[in-house]
Structure 1
Amino acid sequence: MRNINQMFRNIVVPKYLSDYIMMKKKEVTIYDLAKELNYSPSTISRALNNHTSIGKKTIKKIQKTAEEFNYRPNALAASLRNNTSRTIGITIPKINHPFQASLITGIEKTARKAGYNVIITQSDDKYKNEVDNVKALYDARVGGLIVSLGMETRDTSHFDQYVKQNIPIVFVDRVPENFNSYRVIIDNHAAGYRATKHLIEQGCKRIAHFAGAQHVNVYNLRKKGYVDALIDSGLQVDEELIMDMKTLSFEEGRKATEKLLKLDNPPDGIFSAIDTAAVSAILYAKEKGVKIPEELAIIGFNDDPISRIVEPTLSTVSHPAQKMGEISTKRILEHSTRKLDAAVSEITMLDTEIIIRNSSKRK
């Protein structure tokens, strides 16, 4: 055993192999590659980026060595040098909601075409989560931020750091009232008005409303549209028929429907601020033997896939989520190109339409 140990102590590792072993233990940089190949770091950098000032043979040699040493470009270091980043941060309430998923598709598709990457975070509608997400994306030095506010969010001071650094923010769908920024929205008041009007045109006289948290712009405006449609049609606004909910979840929609159907004078129509609660209303009403739409006409909002699967199919309001994502990304790209002030206030409002299906079609 003593002789074997002596043998290993006498083994001399060649310097190039020793250097390679050390490089494998840490992140390989262009300076390591420059030392290995006896080129300047600037030559290595240009070759890795296929710069035309470097010969093809040299580029091939450098890129092959970089691959052998598992070199990875340091995007963060590049953003620090250039004071810019080709990454867009996203924070939304829930990734698994159809509207949010379509929104992300629009963002990612447009960003990819422009050579940008995206980092996606979700707040789960929690204020603290949103604050943490916004800070993490800021620390990652994103070049722009796209936000749909969480249900709990009232204070927007966590976005101030972006404005101070002139990093563009685009609020989409759920937007703050008093924060100068880009905004991509729909006319929620008009959409709520038209959805309620549709039920009135189908003969409904007592229309209930599933309302979301009223500090959130989209739910506040949809409710105002509902109220104004009733008033303009000469119908009573009955507070007993307005169901305030925290999240407009399936469970909340079911409980609200149960409460409404137990009233001495139950509603003959329901306008829900989102499809999920509307679908639960359909299912619960059917369980209780209520005929839809003859006895209870129902319309939702968003045109989620579930609206086409439930029986009867759900009437709803279209919500151009993917287009909103595309426009939001374009705003950030335009801002970066034109070097604008991040405190700019600009609103883009998209159209919606009423999609009439079997849950409300009486005529």
Structure 2
Amino acid sequence: MKRTQITIKDIARELGISPSTVSRALKDHPDISAETKKAVRDLAAKYHYTPNSIALSLRSQKSNVIGVVIPQIVHFFFSSVISGIEEAAEEYGYNVMVCQSDESYEKEIRNVDTCISSRIDGILVSMSKNTHKYDHFEKVLDDNIPLVFFDRVCPGVKADRIVVDDYYGAFNAVEHMIKGGCRRIAHLGSSKHLLIARNRLNGYIDALKKYGLPVDESIILECDSRESALERTPTLFTKGENPDGIFAINDLAASGALTAVKRLGFSVPDDVSICGFSDGLVAQVVEPPMTTVEQHGFEVGKAAAQLLIDRIEGRATTNSITKMIKTTLVVRESTRLVKDSANV
């Protein structure tokens, strides 16, 4: 049986006072006597009264809800980002509504429409890898709803963004592998229309060039999931000279590559060094524990939420802002130890 929620009018009727007096008593207005305030609060507590948030938002034109659209919550990075968003949101009295696009452009559009129809105060977005058109994001801005991109940012929309230093994260990872003796390093990347994929690819390429190593397109694969890495990694070992290192765009792909390499009978890291990107739990539980690039997802989420709230509350008055979060290389046992730099 559905329970009927008590209203201010119900409290007023039972106490024989006006609804406006009840409202002011609940807000601790100085014009209301202590006796009336106590009677109102006692009755509100007895009937478990809670304010009607929809009515409040209609009056204030503010819902105190932030919408978040992410590709998949299963990724450690995105779950860390959400934790950072929620901490910042709670600090400023906002609630968080999370939607998953599941890497679908069509579902991402529905996610954004849901956020708008739910009267959210602003939206945080990390876009789907299959998003090639951006009309739904332009619609958000046209409706004067604050919008902040994080991690997977949209190059075609002028909005605030929080980005990870993907280029130097990749560069440092590949340089570490080269200094450990790797000379033929494969790359498992993602769709090149994603800025993060291009930045990590460019970091990989520039590290090879710095040390005079060739860039072999045949060992650069679009392969960004554990399943695809399990399937495609063996093909890297059918191209003549075997790779002695694999740098993957994320930890899930790296873990798939690690499993595939071991199934082929090779040793990690003696035969093949492997490095991922994210530093999630999977990097710590695989055998051997995996070298990876820490993206600081919690910091990304907190910074994104802070910037969005500043926009909502009018503290950010300049044009679109871009903030970069530095990465950290976390060295574990899946890559060979750095050799004397004189021998690199």
Q: CA deviation at 1:213?
A: 1.2
**Partner deviation per Cα, 1:294-350 (whole Å, 9 max, x = no partner):** 211111100111111111111111111001111111112222332656x94100101
2:243 alignment partner AA = P
1:229 alignment partner AA = A
Q: CA deviation at 1:69?
A: 4.4
Q: How far apart, CA to CA, are the structure 1 residues paired with 2:107 and 2:219?
A: 33
2:213 alignment partner AA = L
Partner residue, 1:33:
11
Q: How far apart, CA to CA, are the structure 1 residues paired with 2:49 and 2:190?
A: 50
Where does 1:275-314 land on structure 2 (aligned, <5 Å)? 275-314=251-290
**Partner deviation per Cα, 1:219-251 (whole Å, 9 max, x = no partner):** 121011111222222111111101113xx1111
Partner residue, 1:10:
none
2:74 alignment partner AA = N
Equivalent position SS for 2:74: coil
In the alignment, structure 1 segments of 5+ residues that lack a partner are 1-23
**Partner deviation per Cα, 1:72-114 (whole Å, 9 max, x = no partner):** 3221221121112211111111112211111111111111122
**Partner deviation per Cα, 1:180-202 (whole Å, 9 max, x = no partner):** 21111112112112211111111
TM-score (norm 1): 0.87
Partner residue, 1:7:
none
Where does 1:74-93 land on structure 2 (aligned, <5 Å)? 74-93=52-71
1:152 aligns with 2:130: yes
Equivalent position SS for 1:120: strand
Maintained 8 Å contact 1:76/1:140: no
Partner residue, 1:140:
118
Partner residue, 2:243:
267
Q: How far apart, CA to CA, are the structure 1 residues paired with 2:135 and 2:33?
A: 51
TM-score (norm 2): 0.91
Equivalent position SS for 1:338: coil
Q: How far apart, CA to CA, are the structure 1 residues paired with 2:30 and 2:194?
A: 52
1:345 aligns with 2:320: yes
Q: How far apart, CA to CA, are the structure 1 residues paired with 2:4 and 2:110?
A: 30
Q: How far apart, CA to CA, are the structure 2 residues paired with 1:39 and 1:137?
A: 39
1:271 alignment partner AA = F
Partner residue, 2:216:
238
Q: How far apart, CA to CA, are the structure 2 residues paired with 1:155 and 1:32?
A: 51
Moved more, 24-33 or 263-272: 24-33
Q: CA deviation at 1:26?
A: 5.2
Q: How far apart, CA to CA, are the structure 1 residues paired with 2:327 and 2:5?
A: 51
1:211 aligned to which of 189, 214, 225: 189
2:150 aligned to which of 157, 168, 172: 172
2:218 alignment partner AA = E
Cα gap change, 1:115/1:317 in structure 2, threshold over 3 Å: closer, same or farther? same
Maintained 8 Å contact 2:278/2:295: yes
Partner residue, 1:94:
72
Partner residue, 1:66:
44
CA RMSD of aligned residues (A): 2.0
Moved more, 265-274 or 331-340: 331-340
Q: How far apart, CA to CA, are the structure 1 residues paired with 2:104 and 2:249?
A: 20
Q: CA deviation at 1:70?
A: 4.7
Cα gap change, 1:64/1:149 in structure 2, threshold over 3 Å: closer, same or farther? same
Q: CA deviation at 1:67?
A: 4.1
Maintained 8 Å contact 1:293/1:362: no
2:118 alignment partner AA = A
Q: How far apart, CA to CA, are the structure 1 residues paired with 2:32 and 2:251?
A: 58
Partner residue, 2:341:
none
Q: How far apart, CA to CA, are the structure 1 residues paired with 2:136 and 2:217?
A: 36
Where does 1:306-325 land on structure 2 (aligned, <5 Å)? 306-325=282-301
Extract structure 1 runs of 4+ deviating beyond 6 A: none
In the alignment, structure 2 segments of 5+ residues that lack a partner are 339-344
Moved more, 28-37 or 122-131: 28-37
Partner residue, 1:221:
199
Q: How far apart, CA to CA, are the structure 1 residues paired with 2:331 and 2:278?
A: 13
Q: How far apart, CA to CA, are the structure 2 residues paired with 1:187 and 1:87?
A: 29
Q: How far apart, CA to CA, are the structure 2 residues paired with 1:47 and 1:332?
A: 33
